[in-house]
């Protein structure tokens, strides 16, 4: 079991690293080779599709992983899921085409919606096959499924950028080709390596049962999808494409800073589903103590990511983008990075509650988080633009943490949750002290890291005996 856990983490780590590195490369090339207006328009269109297709998933993606991981799933579930994404995605794109004739002025401004919609539709169609691989813990297959599009797009963009032929039309063609390649590869791997036939059949009872089980997750899917890119959509509508270009660049790097969370989150879902299943035996106190140590480690890593992000942001980003996206986003990245520890905390508690089947509670938490973010965007974006969007997002994530903490009934949780506050405070203290003493970025970095580690050791947040717990965690 321990060996399997390490193999899964390794495969998922490689997947996340490849996807994030390619995503950063793609973002960098687009942000530097295209104008801010074109770059902002691409990101606004992608935000629309990410939000819509997240909603149209109906929450089935997480239910599918849970059912497959618990041994209740397979060919019938995959058929029902595939039929759902084809019907929902096809209907939405048809509606988009119809709207083109009703609102020609809008689509003349946002011409990329229809073109990028073709690419994102291919990714939406590939979702069931990736969730099947996740539920079966076939993370090596998932690795190839998930990196294909980003690798194809990265290689093509680099070639065209080096030859001086990278323009908006070329970018659109590359996006469509890359996403289509990923869908075809998902079909091939599912049939050839996961050994699931691609003979999809309509089964009304299976589909209605899946929808009924996923229904409590539908609200979560709506609010979590909107929360992920709501600020992008509002900035595009209430500010400008240029401001959205600045914010989306900062947000993309902020997402990359959460890379460790992206690595461990998919691996924990099937394991937590078994550990916290309602039919499972009561969890031993020693096992819960190990989980709290895992939470503490996540807080340490999250706060370290935020510390490094703020120290290196202006000098590194302005150097990479010739002064386009560094200093202008200094306050934005500070606000966004402050939410990183809370994101880790929320994911930890969400996974526990999802495994316990507390879907209604999760729905209400996401609803509250969504309403806070929506109100914050409407109130702050008109006055503070990108900084307002970042502040609204931070408020929403903190509210989500508070609600999860109140609703998650686990002995010792509140005491161990102090790490959510202590680790970020130590990171802020280390960054402020180093910045006060030195002006050089590298001296600040060389001072802040030891100070941060010292604070963790002195406060007991980091202990030399924790390594034994990490080894046990890898084996649960």
pLDDT digits (tens, 9 = 90+) for 254-265: 988 887 776 666
Measured CA to CA in angstroms, residue 466 lies from 105, 268, 411, 451 at distances of 61, 19, 20, 20
Domain-embedded: residue 167 = yes
Q: Is the pLDDT of residue 9 over 60?
A: no
% of the chain exceeding 70 in pLDDT:
87
DSSP string over 346-384? HHHHHHHHHHTT-HHHHHHHHHHHHHHHHHHHHHHHHHH
Local confidence band at 475 (pLDDT 50, 70, 90 cut-offs): low
The pLDDT, as a whole number, for residue 304 is 95
Tell me, yes or no, whether 122 and 55 share the same domain: yes
Domain-embedded: residue 224 = no
Tell me, yes or no, whether 379 and 421 share the same domain: yes
Tell me, yes or no, whether 161 and 244 share the same domain: no
Q: CA angle at residue 230 from 80 to 94, to 5 degrees?
A: 45
The pLDDT, as a whole number, for residue 437 is 94
Sign of CA dihedral 316, 317, 320, 324: negative
45-54, 68-77, 165-174: which is most confident: 165-174
**Pick from 335, 111, 374, 355: which is nearest to 234 by CA?**
374
Local confidence band at 454 (pLDDT 50, 70, 90 cut-offs): very high
Domain-embedded: residue 232 = no
Q: Is the pLDDT of residue 285 over 60?
A: yes
Structural domain ending residue among the three candidates 219, 254, 272:
219
> Residue 396, CB half-sphere, CA atoms under 13 Å: how many?
26
Among 113-117, 275-279, 432-436, 465-469, name the one with the lowest average pLDDT. Answer: 275-279
The interaxial angle of helices 259-275 and 340-355, nearest 10 deg, is 20
What is the average pLDDT score of the chain? 85
Q: Are 142 and 15 in contact (CB under 8 A)?
A: yes
Structural domain ending residue among the three candidates 166, 187, 219:
219
Segment 359-382, tens digit of pLDDT:
788 888 988 988 999 999 999 999
Tell me, yes or no, whether 110 and 165 share the same domain: yes
Range of the domain at 167: 13-219
Tell me, yes or no, whether 51 and 83 share the same domain: yes
- How many angstroms separate the CA atoms of 436 and 389, rounded? 29
Q: Is the pLDDT of residue 62 over 70?
A: yes
Between 271 and 68, residue with greater pLDDT = 68
Tell me, yes or no, whether 169 and 310 share the same domain: no
Q: How many domains does the chain have?
A: 2
Local confidence band at 476 (pLDDT 50, 70, 90 cut-offs): very low
Among 6-15, 172-181, 295-304, name the one with the lowest average pLDDT. Answer: 6-15
Three-state DSSP class for 324?
coil
Domain-embedded: residue 166 = yes
Tell me, yes or no, whether 194 and 245 share the same domain: no
Tell me, yes or no, whether 158 and 207 share the same domain: yes
Segment 224-245, tens digit of pLDDT:
767 777 888 888 888 888 898 8
Q: Is the pLDDT of residue 118 over 70?
A: yes
- How many angstroms separate the CA atoms of 454 and 476, rounded? 30
Q: Is the pLDDT of residue 174 over 90?
A: yes
The pLDDT, as a whole number, for residue 293 is 83
Buried b (16+ CB within 10 A) or exposed e, 134-150: bbbbbbbbbbbbbbbbb
Structural domain ending residue among the three candidates 158, 185, 219:
219
Cβ-based neighbour number of residue 402 at 10 Å: 12
Among 148-157, 278-287, 435-444, name the one with the lowest average pLDDT. Answer: 278-287
Q: Is the pLDDT of residue 212 over 90?
A: no
The two tokens of residue 42 are 């691409």
The pLDDT, as a whole number, for residue 412 is 79
Three-state DSSP class for 199?
coil
Local confidence band at 75 (pLDDT 50, 70, 90 cut-offs): low
The two tokens of residue 37 are 């207006």
- How many angstroms separate the CA atoms of 447 and 437, rounded? 9
The pLDDT, as a whole number, for residue 402 is 94
Tell me, yes or no, whether 172 and 305 share the same domain: no
Tell me, yes or no, whether 84 and 124 share the same domain: yes
Domain-embedded: residue 1 = no
Tell me, yes or no, whether 126 and 207 share the same domain: yes
The pLDDT, as a whole number, for residue 77 is 76
The pLDDT, as a whole number, for residue 124 is 93
- How many angstroms separate the CA atoms of 317 and 273, rounded? 40
How far does Cα 269 stand from its chain's mean position?
15
The pLDDT, as a whole number, for residue 150 is 93
Q: Is the pLDDT of residue 319 over 80?
A: yes
Between 210 and 471, residue with greater pLDDT = 210
The pLDDT, as a whole number, for residue 469 is 65
Domain-embedded: residue 402 = yes
Tell me, yes or no, whether 250 and 380 share the same domain: yes
% of the chain exceeding 90 in pLDDT:
41
The pLDDT, as a whole number, for residue 262 is 66
The pLDDT, as a whole number, for residue 346 is 93
The two tokens of residue 379 are 């109130």
Over residues 35-50, the mean pLDDT reads 90
Domain-embedded: residue 225 = no
DSSP state of 284: P
Domain-embedded: residue 233 = no
């Amino acid at each position: 079991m321990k060996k399997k856990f390490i193999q899964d983490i390794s495969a998922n780590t490689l997947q996340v690293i490849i996807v994030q590195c390619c995503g950063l490369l793609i973002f960098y090339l687009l942000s530097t080779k295209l104008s801010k207006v074109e770059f902002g328009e691409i990101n606004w269109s992608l935000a629309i599709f990410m939000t819509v297709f997240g909603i149209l998933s109906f929450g089935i993606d997480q239910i599918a992983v849970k059912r497959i991981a618990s041994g209740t799933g397979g060919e019938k579930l995959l058929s029902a899921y595939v039929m759902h994404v084809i019907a929902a995605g096809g209907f939405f794109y048809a509606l988009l085409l119809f709207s083109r004739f009703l609102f020609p002025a809008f689509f003349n401004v946002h011409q990329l919606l229809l073109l990028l919609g073709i690419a994102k539709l291919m990714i939406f169609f590939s979702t069931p096959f990736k969730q099947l691989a996740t539920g079966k813990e076939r993370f090596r297959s998932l690795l190839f499924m998930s990196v294909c599009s980003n690798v194809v797009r990265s290689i093509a963009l680099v070639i065209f950028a080096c030859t001086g032929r990278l323009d908006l039309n070329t970018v659109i063609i590359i996006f469509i080709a890359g996403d289509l390649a990923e869908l075809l590869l998902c079909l091939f791997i599912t049939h050839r390596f996961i050994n699931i036939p691609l003979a999809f059949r309509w089964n009304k009872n299976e589909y209605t049962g899946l929808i009924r089980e996923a229904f409590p997750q539908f609200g979560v899917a709506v609010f979590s999808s909107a929360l992920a890119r709501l600020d992008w959509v509002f900035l595009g509508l209430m500010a400008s494409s240029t401001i959205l270009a600045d914010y989306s660049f900062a947000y993309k790097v902020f997402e990359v800073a959460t890379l460790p969370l992206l690595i461990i989150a998919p691996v924990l879902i099937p394991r937590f589903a078994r550990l916290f299943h309602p039919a499972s035996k009561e969890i031993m106190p020693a096992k819960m103590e190990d989980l709290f140590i895992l939470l503490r480690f996540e807080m340490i890593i999250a706060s370290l990511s935020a510390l490094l992000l703020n120290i290196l942001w202006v000098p590194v980003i302005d150097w990479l983008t010739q002064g386009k996206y560094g200093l202008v986003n200094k306050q934005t990245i500070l606000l966004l990075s402050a939410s990183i520890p809370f994101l880790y905390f929320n994911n930890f508690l969400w996974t526990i509650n999802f495994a316990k089947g507390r879907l209604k509670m999760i729905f209400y938490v996401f609803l509250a988080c969504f309403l806070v973010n929506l109100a914050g965007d409407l109130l702050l974006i008109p006055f503070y633009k990108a900084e307002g969007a970042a502040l609204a997002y931070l408020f929403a994530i903190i509210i989500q943490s508070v609600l999860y903490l109140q609703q998650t009934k686990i002995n010792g949780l509140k005491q161990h949750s102090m790490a959510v506050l202590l680790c970020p405070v130590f990171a802020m203290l280390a960054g402020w002290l180093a910045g006060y003493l030195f002006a050089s970025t590298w001296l600040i970095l060389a001072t802040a890291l030891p100070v941060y580690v010292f604070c963790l050791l002195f406060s007991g947040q980091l202990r030399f005996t924790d390594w034994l717990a990490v080894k046990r965690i890898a084996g649960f």
